[in-house]
Amino acid sequence: MKARLLALVATLLSADALAQTQPLYVVPLQPHAHTALRAGAHVTLALHSRDPSALAAQLQVAAPPAGKPVEYALNPYRAPREAKSRTWRESTFVVDFEEQVVTDLYEDLIEAETSTPNREHFIRFVAATLKPTVGRGWDVASTTAQRREGDCTEFAVTLTALARAASLPARVVTGIVVAQTPQGPAAFGHAWSELKEENEWRVADAALAGTEVVGYIPLGALTNESASFTLDLAQLMQTWVQRIEVLPPTPARRTR
Amino acid sequence: MTEPVTVGQLLHRSHELESRLKAPRLTLESVARMSNHPDNLLPVGQSTRRIGPRIHKGDFVFSRSLMSLALLGCSLSIGAAEEPKWLKEARAREGKPGAMTSMKSEDGFFSAAVPAKVLGKIQQQNEGYTATIDIGSETPMTCEVLKGGFDLASTLRNVAAVTFRDLEPIQGKVDAKGIEAQDAGVIGASPFMTVDWIYRVNDGKAARLGALKQFAASKGGQGIYCAHVDLGYVQTFRRVASAFLESTAFENAVALPDYFEVSTASFGDRRVGIAIASLTKQQDGELELVNSTSLLYPVAADAVNSQDSYHVQWARADASLIEATHVVSANGELETKLSLTSTAEGGWSVAGQFKQKEINEKIDKDSIPVTWLAQAKARQALATQSDIVGKTLVDRVWVVASPTALIESTFTVTSTNDGKVVGRETAGPLSMDVVLDNATGLPTSAVMHLGPQTITLERVYRTGTL
């Protein structure tokens, strides 16, 4: 039974969301009439979770009083804690940029963009190169470089691999994104890349290029990039957000 | 080793499994080839009529229904209050139960009986047979028998894809579709999965609604697939397909293993797949232990993905592990095929393809992976003891989520209400609550909360002994 349940879990973990409605990973979002959800908006969210204390620790915010949701300021972006032992430049099982097919893709990037690509170049190239599909699980970079398709996880892994091919520190982050969709604001499970620039982790999200992203809630960086990486994902998802409530703008919050 | 008795001929020793994976299956590609054949196996290919009544442009109420179809996708539900009368009536149509009609393939490979009229002879082509059955609708339903079986989830997904593709030249572009209902279970000892799709076609002149109902099952080592393209007749289709499955007898049926159980897998309140565990005793005393799963889960408003997995362990009579394999196909495409074997140095090594990438690694020499049978026996023994609340069993297991490193698995008894042993199972970062069957030491149910989902396994069938 356990092996079977773990197989189900592996399935769930590999079934990540793209920008479109993703039935498995949509987080109910309750907007507030007086809080506009626009790109980069300084809004405060109430994150309802089965384990608010653990979620607060994961998000590096104050633990809420018992029975209360976690309050989270959506912007500015708050990168997950960094694992000090990592350079985030290694070729790994998941981010296998030393594979020939990824190297070839990097050469395509150089040809299409510039020999010294930056965050914008990576985003633009990956968004233009990969076809958004929902039929893939969580492919490693070399597989995506070959297939050139995928959802947000493939976009994030590929962008991370290309950045590392350029010797830039990069990593894959999973969490929740709040974005404007044709149906209005929505929150859903998502994966994106972070590139380290000027000693600061910055979001590089090729999957949502062109989408109005209100903000990101990073649950954690993928630190285990070995063949056992799905266990790391499971760890990150232990403290999932069940429901998000947009809080009214208060004077105190406006000054944060 | 002697020739194993298998379930669905899909569960084999590693070399046999490998050859099986290379054998023709009802994949997207093979179905696509079949769909070009004049004797198309798919029901939609047999009819050029339009599906459902014409939809008039400007029908606001109906447009709202279609919008709900387009937006809600898997949880698609066209609200009864919003449905026009004709649509409600079309969707409520059912056929009258008919007299039982027997059928038999000309070569005697299989026979079956259904409570409906069988149209013409059973058609045989390649490795399959097709029966056309009149259930009172304009379009008959079909039931097929595929020799050697197939992967349930990928068959449902990929045949649906081909069906929708083949609909387009006849009925117009399929511009919206979604799953209206999904189910899984067991009839007799035969696991099945069903999917009910609703879709909209547009030929440039008008939009029309249609429905595709699918039923896939495994029995006696063969695969059974029934389908119907028409609005309504939901219960009729299910009744006839179920009767077909229940009554089907094969010339050379494969016997059930010595132990065989089927569980349903649910995401939330939606049954999305099945999980099977079996044990087959070999003549030389060794054991073949199989865990398999078939899952069909939504990934977008109009798309589902499939995963079929097989985990086979070969064990000695004392339940200790000899070797093991993991095979996983995603959307009918082989994704993972790994073997775990012991090394001359006394350790273990993993080799094969994982996530479509070759791996070959040694596992920590001091780690010894256990079989699920060994775990069950330990729990069975624990269940016979008194004052066991708080007691813990610890093992190391080889799971596909961590192919190159064994993970620790602990089972801690949390209660023993009414003789039932309830425990908390932890494997790496994952935890689940399980209720044990004291007779076997295997869970009768397991519940796990992961992200937004509650994942549940419920045992629905068991036969034999461990």
- Residue A134's pLDDT band (cuts 50, 70, 90): confident
Number of domains in chain B: 1
So what's the pLDDT on residue B23?
26
Give me the pLDDT at residue B75, please.
Answer: 27
Cα(first)–Cα(last) distance of chain B, in Å?
20
Confidence grade of residue B84 (pLDDT, cut at 50, 70, 90): confident
Chain A positions in Cβ-Cβ contact with residue B372 (cut-off 8 Å): 1-3
Asked if the structure places residue B210 within a domain, the reply is yes
Model pTM score: 0.82
Is residue B262 situated within a structural domain? no
**What residues in A contact B309, CB-CB < 8 Å?**
7
Is B275 in Cβ contact with A93 (below 8 Å)?
no
- Decide if B65 is inside a domain: no
Shortest CA gap B354–chain A (Å): 8
Share of chain B above pLDDT 70, in %: 82
Query: In this complex, do A3 and B291 lie within 8 Å of one another by their Cβ atoms?
Result: yes
Which of B264, B266, B355 has the most A C-beta neighbours within 10 Å, making it the best mutation to test the interface with A?
B355
pLDDT in tens, A36-81: 899 989 999 999 998 899 999 999 999 999 999 999 999 999 999 8
pLDDT at site B206 = 81
Q: Which of residues 205-264 of B touch A (CB under 8 A)?
A: 263
Contact A3 B372 (CB under 8 A): yes
Q: B100 lies in a domain?
A: yes
Q: Which domain holds residue A32?
A: 2-254
Res B274 pLDDT > 80: yes
**Domain with A190 in it: what CATH number?**
3.10.620.30
Give pLDDT, residue A71: 96
Which residues pair with residue B352 across a beta bridge?
Answer: B338, B359
CATH of the domain at B179: 3.40.1000
CB of A127 within 8 Å of any CB in chain B? no
Decide if A24 and B299 are in contact by the 8 Å CB cutoff.
Answer: yes
pLDDT digits (tens, 9 = 90+) for B6-43: 222 222 222 222 222 222 222 222 333 333 222 222 22
So what's the pLDDT on residue B273? 95
A176-218: pLDDT as tens digits: 999 998 888 999 889 999 999 998 999 999 999 989 999 999 9
pLDDT at position A252, please?
55
Is any Cβ of chain B less than 8 angstroms from the Cβ of A54? no
Please answer yes or no on whether A21 and B275 come within 8 Å at the CB atom: no
The reply to whether B194 falls in a domain is: yes
Percent of chain A with pLDDT over 90: 67
B162 within some domain: yes
Query: Residue B268 — pLDDT band, cuts 50, 70, 90?
Result: confident
Q: Do A183 and B71 touch (CB under 8 A)?
A: yes
Domain that holds residue B53: 7-60+71-250
Task: Please tell me the predicted confidence (pLDDT) of residue B449.
Answer: 81
In terms of CA atoms, which chain B residue is nearest residue A28? B452
Q: What is the mean pLDDT of chain A?
A: 87
Q: Do A15 and B299 touch (CB under 8 A)?
A: yes
Fill in the DSSP letter of residue A155.
Answer: H
- Cβ-contact B327, B97 below 8 angstroms: no
Q: Does the structure show a pLDDT above 90 at B48? A: no
B-facing residues of A in 146-185 (CB < 8 A) are: 151, 183
Distance from CA of B134 to the nearest CA of A (A): 35
For tokens 């054991």, the residue is B287
**Confidence tier at B170 by pLDDT (50, 70, 90):** confident
Residue B131 located in a structural domain:
yes
Per-residue pLDDT band at B85 (split at 50, 70, 90)? confident
CA-nearest of B216, B237, B242, B199 to B155 is B216
For chain A, the domain total comes to: 1
With beta carbons under 8 A apart, name residues in chain A contacting B359. Answer: 93, 227
Residues 115 through 174 of chain B touching chain A, CB cutoff 8 Å: none
| Residues from chain B contacting residue A6 (CB–CB below 8 Å) | 399-401, 427, 430
Average pLDDT, chain B: 81
> From the list B267, B298, B403, which residue is nearest A227 (CB)?
B403
* Backbone conformation region of residue B160, classed left if phi is above 0, alpha if psi is from -120 to 50, else beta: alpha
